[in-house]
């Protein structure tokens, strides 16, 4: 898809870029602090999720599930760098089947999602829930060791949009719960956070580009809000209630955002 091409292009540009003109050390530190805070919330919400599962409270577990995952989705540029943990926490069954594996190899949020929505019970989730919480806590312990660079942040922002345009917009991510719009929004917020951290420096370099990115973020967020039943939080309609026209409009809005966002690489030019 178009955003995959953009991600590949920006990666090649970053690799060939000379020494940075701007000191972006504060921005990288602030981004790492943001991700640490997100993963702290992920731990807290996962604990509540596990408690609800063990208490047999199906409705509470279903309510927490998409909210907890948003913290992970916002943090993916760093969280995914721990290759062994990411699939344990976030793999879809389809991902494993592509590798010749099956349900016995499966763990994490989506395995629990299947039981909650297909069987409408928490029974049988206890072991998976314990492992999920253990993995999330391990991720939190490892996050401070991650090396965060401006290159990682820029490619990460584009990759977050690519996540939206490939798995979220097609409804492949949360196929049982239909809570894809929560993940969609969290990916957009993760990319927007990176833009906001770079914005002061970008305004010095290219104010027109900054304005264009900001406008496209607004367009995507305004479009997403039309499917949000809450004015102050997150309460998205089930993804399968959207029409083909709706999903096409979302994909187009994300693609329009991805093109100028990929140009953040201007910050790395002399």
Residue 28: CATH number of its domain: 1.20.1420.20
**How far apart (Å, rounded) are the C-alpha atoms in residues 230 and 27?**
32
Nearest 10 degrees: Cα torsion 109, 170, 38, 48? -30
Q: Which two tokens stand for residue 211?
A: 């304005």
Question: pLDDT tens track of the chain, all 270 residues?
Answer: 445 545 544 554 454 444 445 789 999 999 999 999 999 999 999 999 999 999 999 999 999 999 999 999 999 999 988 878 999 999 999 888 888 888 889 999 999 999 999 999 999 999 999 999 999 999 999 999 999 999 999 999 999 998 888 778 888 899 999 999 999 999 999 999 999 999 999 999 999 999 999 999 999 999 999 999 999 999 999 999 999 999 999 999 999 999 999 999 999 886
pLDDT at site 17: 47
Q: Are the beta carbons of 255 and 2 closer than 8 angstroms?
A: yes
How far is residue 27 from each of residues 147, 151, 218, 224, measured CA to CA in Å? 13, 12, 22, 27
Domain extent, residue 136, equals 2-268
Report the alpha-carbon angle 124-129-133, nearest 5.
170
- Left, alpha or beta for 23 (phi > 0: left; psi -120 to 50: alpha)? beta
Cα Rg of the chain (Å, integer): 19
pLDDT at site 16: 45
- Which letter does DSSP use for residue 83 in this model? T
**How far apart (Å, rounded) are the C-alpha atoms in residues 193 and 74?**
9
Write the burial class of residue 176 (CB in 10 Å: 0-12 exposed, 13-18 middle, 19+ buried): middle
Q: What is the pTM of this model?
A: 0.90
Helices and strands per DSSP (H, E), number in the chain: 12, 0
pLDDT at site 102: 86
The length of the chain in residues reads 270
pLDDT at site 9: 47
- Domain total for the chain? 1
Q: Which two tokens stand for residue 104?
A: 């016995």
**How far apart (Å, rounded) are the C-alpha atoms in residues 227 and 222?**
9
pLDDT at site 1: 47
């Amino acid at each position: 898809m178009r955003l995959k091409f953009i991600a590949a292009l920006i990666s090649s540009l970053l690799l060939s870029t000379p020494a940075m003109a701007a000191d972006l050390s504060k921005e990288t530190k602030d981004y790492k602090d943001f991700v640490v805070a997100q993963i702290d919330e992920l731990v807290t919400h996962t604990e509540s999720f596990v408690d609800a599962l063990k208490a047999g409270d199906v409705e509470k577990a279903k309510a927490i599930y998409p909210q907890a995952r948003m913290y992970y989705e916002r943090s993916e540029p760093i969280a995914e760098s721990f290759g062994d943990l990411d699939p344990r926490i976030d793999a879809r069954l389809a991902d494993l089947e592509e590798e010749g594996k099956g349900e016995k190899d499966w763990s994490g949020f989506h395995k629990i999602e299947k039981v909650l929505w297909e069987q409408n019970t928490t029974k049988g989730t206890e072991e998976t829930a314990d492992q999920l919480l253990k993995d999330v806590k391990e991720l939190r312990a490892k996050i401070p060791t991650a090396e965060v660079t401006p290159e990682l942040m820029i490619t990460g922002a584009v990759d977050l949009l690519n996540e939206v345009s490939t798995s979220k917009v097609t409804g492949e991510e949360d196929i049982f719960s239909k809570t894809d719009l929560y993940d969609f929004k969290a990916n957009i917020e993760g990319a927007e956070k990176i833009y906001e951290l770079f914005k002061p420096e970008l305004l010095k370099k290219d104010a027109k580009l900054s304005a264009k990115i900001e406008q496209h973020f607004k367009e995507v967020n305004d479009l997403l809000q039309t499917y949000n039943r809450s004015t102050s939080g997150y309460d998205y309609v089930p993804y399968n209630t959207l029409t083909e026209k709706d999903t096409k409009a979302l994909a187009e809005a994300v693609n329009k955002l991805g093109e100028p966002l990929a140009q953040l690489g201007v910050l790395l030019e002399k």
